[in-house]
Amino acid sequence: MSTTNTATTQTADQIDALEADAARLDVEQAIYRSDSYTEVVTLEYSDARAEALLAASDDSVDAGRVVEFWGTSEAGDEWRVHLRRATIA
């Protein structure tokens, strides 16, 4: 008889949800830092981060190795976050 520990088994959907939540937190922190310190914040590219930034931004541009996102906070302050794609050697 085989037993499965369901408490430690996660489905692919649960893992995707956790990654999306982590990406959303990364993006929120990056936007806060950009807004607070008036700087461009750069993070490593991930699809989850790109989706979160698309939802939060006013606009974006894919410049190849870097995807740039920008927007305006509720207080009217501008922010910029870039996602840098890894280079393949």
Predicted confidence (pLDDT) per residue in 46-88, tens digit:
999 999 999 999 999 999 999 999 999 889 999 999 999 987 6
**Looking at the domain assignment, is residue 2 inside a domain?**
no
Does the reported pTM lie above 0.85?
Answer: no
- Give the total number of structural domains in the chain: 1
35 falls within a domain: yes
CA atoms lying within 13 Å on the CB side of residue 59: 2
In this predicted structure, what is the pLDDT of residue 16?
Answer: 77
Q: Determine, yes or no, domain membership for 1.
A: no
Indicate whether 10 pLDDT > 80: no
Domain that holds residue 29: 12-84
74 found inside a domain: yes
The answer to the question of residue 54 being in a domain is yes
The verdict on residue 65 lying in a domain is yes
Answer whether residue 28 shows pLDDT above 80.
yes
Classified as helix, coil or strand, 65 is coil
For residue 4, tell me if it sits in a domain. Answer: no
7 located within any domain: no
Interatomic CA distance for residues 56 and 54, integer angstroms = 6
